[in-house]
Chains A and B, each alone.
Chain A
Amino acid sequence: MFEAFRLLGRSTLGFLQRLGRANLFLGQTLACLPGILLRPGLVLKQIYSVGVLTLVIIVVSGLFVGMVMGLQGYNTLVDFGAEESLGVLVALSLVRELGPVVAALLFAGRAGSALGAEIGLMKATEQLSGMEMMAIDPVQRVIAPRFLAAFLSMPLLAAIFSAVGVYGGHFVGVGLLGVDDGAFWAQMQAKVDLYDDILNGVIKSIVFGFVAGWIALFEGYDAVPTAEGVSQATTRTVVHTALAVLGLDFVLTALMFGD
């Protein structure tokens, strides 16, 4: 009985310690950001590996999500005779929720896990230690560029996801199911607001990018320097990022779209 309490206490303390380390780590990283703006080459390389290489999965997923929305949306709306509102349904769902959230989850799976593994491996093979002994700050040279890259890439990826999804929905709805092309766009344009919907979606994706980058880099940096530790870091990255994104999504949605 007491054993359970002791375990609970220890794991809570451990969790709090980890949280503290994560925040100190974030502080260190943010402090290095002004410095690396002077070294755009590093950031560019990371934007490539984090952003460009995630493009494929984002575009394909966006397309399919949009197409499924077109299909499902039509099936539901046609019962109310409201199939002309398909455009609104697809656009609002994507821009407000699916774009930022699904893109963030895909990002966590593809780029986040890669980042976590890469940093964890660098820790395990003493590369980070080596840099420190060469009097080079690994947080500035290795961590900060990757963080900035994640932060900048996420909104772009979410926007691409939403845009591709809308066209996917258009293809299914207008092309295959016969919804009126004009009504599809016109109703959408009337109902989707630039500030309330699109801007809020962009803000969401910026927040998600911040969090996804932070978690991936911290899990790698804090990993146990063994092979098992690296694999643990990778799985933790994906799980924690997913939970954080979904939780934050609820909070942000309540703040933005509530009353």
Chain B
Amino acid sequence: MNSRTLELWVGLFVAAGMAALFMLAMQVSNLSSFGGKDGYRLTAAFENIGGLKVRSPVTVSGVRVGRVDAIDYDFGSFNAVVTMEIDDHYRGFPEDTSASIFTAGLLGEQYIALEPGGAMQNLKDGDRIQLTQSALVMEQIIGQFLYSMAAEKKPGGTPPEAEPSQEMPSVEQP
């Protein structure tokens, strides 16, 4: 075949390859969430962040508004400090907004859910969210559960409308 056709085919091939790479980057990867549009940063301190990772999502009412940018540890307060990057699009969270770490589904990944408060002022770039709820750690929950079960059985620690406790009948000599 002549060189014109050859060049055409090679050009098509390279274009198809580039298109495939592009498609992979855009459709398949998380590129779209890089945005490029910078957002603003908020921090929050947690006792335990569980399985939260950098780039984990930050949602409000289920809507993804940003992602976790950095995770650090503060030796002053002995807490984990999470830095979140929120899209500029979503400004206007009240100052008393709370941040909790939830799990998506039963075995899914963990994310930060923001719950707006009712304050007059809004959070600005660099502000710290005061109200936080740490991740639920499986072992702690089980431990608490067992502890509260054991506490039900002990005398003095029972709830008010206790059933008559099953006491061993004392053997009384007639």
Contact B6 A202 (CB under 8 A): no
Contact A157 B17 (CB under 8 A): yes
> Which of A6-14, A107-115, A192-200, A234-242 is found at the contact surface with chain B?
A192-200
Contact A160 B20 (CB under 8 A): yes
* Number of A-B pairs, beta carbon distance below 8 Å: 85
Query: Which B87-113 residues have C-beta < 8 A from chain A?
Result: none
Contact A202 B9 (CB under 8 A): no
> Which of A25-33, A47-55, A173-181 is found at the contact surface with chain B?
A47-55
Contact B30 A156 (CB under 8 A): no
Interface size class of A (residues with CB under 8 A): 20 to 34
A202 to B28, CA, bound (A): 14
A51 to B6, CA, bound (A): 12
The reply on B31 being an interface residue by CB < 8 A is yes
The reply on B16 being an interface residue by CB < 8 A is yes
Residue of A nearest to B57 (CB): A190
Q: Assuming the A-B contacts A156-B17, A160-B16, A160-B20, are A166 and B28 also in contact, with contact meaning beta carbons closer than 8 angstroms in the complex? A: yes
Main secondary structure of the interface of A (DSSP, over half): helix
Task: Choose one: B21, B34, B55, B57; the contact of A159 (CB below 8 Å).
Answer: B21
Contact A52 B17 (CB under 8 A): no
Q: How far is the CB of B90 from chain A (nearest CB, A)?
A: 18
Q: Assuming the A-B contacts A155-B17, A192-B29, A192-B30, are A52 and B23 also in contact, with contact meaning beta carbons closer than 8 angstroms in the complex? A: no
A44 to B13, CA, bound (A): 11
Query: Which A89-112 residues have C-beta < 8 A from chain B?
Result: 91, 95
Residues of B within 8 A of A (CB): 3, 6-7, 9-10, 12-14, 16-21, 23-25, 27-34, 55, 57
5 nearest A-B pairs in the assembled complex, by CB-CB distance: A156-B17, A163-B20, A159-B20, A194-B29, A160-B20
Residues of A within 8 A of B (CB): 41, 44-45, 47-48, 51-52, 55, 91, 95, 153, 155-157, 159-160, 162-164, 166, 185, 188-194, 197-198, 202
Chosen A-B contacts, 7 in total, with CB atoms closer than 8 Å, are A47-B10, A48-B10, A163-B20, A163-B24, A189-B28, A189-B33, A193-B30
